[in-house]
Amino acid sequence: MEFCGKTDIGKKRSTNQDNFYVGYISRLPDEKKVLLAVVCDGMGGAAGGNVASSLAVSVFTSFVEKKVRESLEKGICLFESILTDAVDQANTAVYEQATNDPALSGMGTTLVSCIITDDSNP
């Protein structure tokens, strides 16, 4: 499978608040292939939207990769649950940073993700 990602500043903003990750999760048992993609768009106009989207991508990706590896080693992987928990982790990280840094107060981001596997029974 070929994949790529691209962001665009858009027509209204002077900075690009998009961040993304797309890639295979490494070191999986039985040479399984799991592709993870996530894109976050910092809320336009909100302080720190670029910080929020970057942080969300980082926290989300790290959590998903760790939990998918752990789950597949146990023989079962509930992707929907992992993705839901990863969104919660990313949301908490963004909220805490916005709360702890007055310059980032009100920052936010969107988050969209997917997982694609190499078979129908991961």
Q: How far apart are CA 39 and CA 85, in angstroms?
A: 16
**Is 63 within a domain?**
yes
Position 40, amino acid: C
CATH number for position 108: 3.60.40.10
Residue 122: pLDDT above 50? Answer: no
**Is 5 within a domain?**
no
**Domain of 104?**
29-117
**Is 122 within a domain?**
no
Position 63, amino acid: F
Q: Band of the pLDDT at 27, cuts 50, 70, 90?
A: confident
How many separate domains does the chain show?
Answer: 1
What pLDDT shows up at residue 97? 94
DSSP per position, 47-97? TTHHHHHHHHHHHHHHHHHHHHHHHHHHT---HHHHHHHHHHHHHHHHHHH
**Is 2 within a domain?**
no
Statement: the pTM of the whole predicted model exceeds 0.85: yes
pLDDT in tens, 34-87: 999 999 999 866 679 999 999 999 999 999 999 999 999 898 889 999 999 999
